[in-house]
Amino acid sequence: MSTGLNKKDKQYLDDQLARVREDADHMIGYPATRALDFSPLYPFFDFLLNNLGDPYTPSSYRLNTHEIECEVIEWFTELLHGKDQDIWGYVTSGGTEGNMYGVYLARELFPNGMVYYSEDTHYSVAKILRMVNSRSIMIKSQENGEMDYQDLAETIAIHRDVPPVIFANIGTTMKGAIDNLDEIKSVLKDKAITRYYLHADAALSGMVLPFTDNPQPFDFADGVDSISISGHKFPGVPIPCGIVLAKRSLVDRVARTVEYIGTNDTTVLGSRNGMAPLFLWYVIHTLGKDGFQKMVKDSFSLADYAIEKFKSAGIKAWRHKNSPIVVFPRMNEPVTKKWQIAIHGNDAHLIVMPHVTKDHIDQFLEEIIA
């Protein structure tokens, strides 16, 4: 059996690593964090860690990190004001899987339900709705990225005989807008609707809002039935992953026993990455709540610095309350491409994640206005 790479293949990998390092130094447009040294976890890569099935139920495949996964879920449950006995969750492959799980639970609860989501909702949601064959209506967005609550009210009024499933954005992809859960619940109350499902897509902001002094409503204390958060964004896990939490009573409706793996099938995927819970556990135990709070505070401070630098150059820039996303006009595309700036329509944005520094901001602005 051949071992090791030949000289050509090794050079190819070295070139790829050099490219990634160069691109990593010019990445301020997407939500990813480079904050920790994960080398203490590298020995675990010698094993196939596969978190088959329900993390709370023993599996006949024991090369897993279920115990660590449960600790991670319990930490997030407390963070998001849930009660352990009432909330169930697991570590996903990312925010999209978490959103799919929320929509799946809602569809199982209300087979004829209507999903309402806004224009600014992440592009994957329309795909998810097609995959699970859910009825849906897109609601208009306000200019700031929030859902248009009047359009929501008028649309729900037309379909009052159908249970609504509200897909709320807790930080939209481009503008960081947070749909107002109190406004949404007010619309439902005004229409005398008592049977509904509320899912929160908190991919980025779900790890920002808990560490602010005055967060907008977004979690179980505010009435959500399920919530999806990304693990590779603000937490900075170097593997795409996420966390989905939902009311246990809803999950029990979809649980099935599978003899082959000796556990319950309650997740979207069969085989699941056992490294992701380990990395999340490491971040949680390395940084702690105080560490996350400092990272959020520093990100907001640097975001305000960027806005002032834009303004001093005569460029309008802004951010939502409790958001590290700085929105500015689409411009100088060779430079925005170099710095991997996300663009949509007439808008562009940079995201002040924990690895972004003043030097990054200064260098980017020097180049974009040159």
Calculate ∠ Cα 188-114-136, nearest 5°: 125
| 140-153 core/surface letters (b: 16 or more CB in 10 A; e: else) | ebbeebbbbbebbb
Q: How far apart are CA 38 and CA 283, in angstroms?
A: 9
The residues near 344 (Cβ < 8 Å, ≥ 6 apart) are: 173, 174
Q: How far apart are CA 111 and CA 162, in angstroms?
A: 10
Cross-strand partners of 227: 200, 245
- Residue among 118, 136, 299, 323 flagged as catalytic: 323
The verdict on whether 323 is a catalytic residue reads yes
Cross-strand partners of 87: 247
DSSP string of 251-314? HTTT-EEETTTTEEE-SS-SS-BSHHHHHHHHHHHHHHHHHHHHHHHHHHHHHHHHHHHHHHTT
CB distance 353 to 32 below 8 Å = yes
**Which stretches of 115-233 are DSSP H helices?**
124-131, 149-158, 181-190
Residue type, 132: V
| Active centre residues (catalytic) | 323
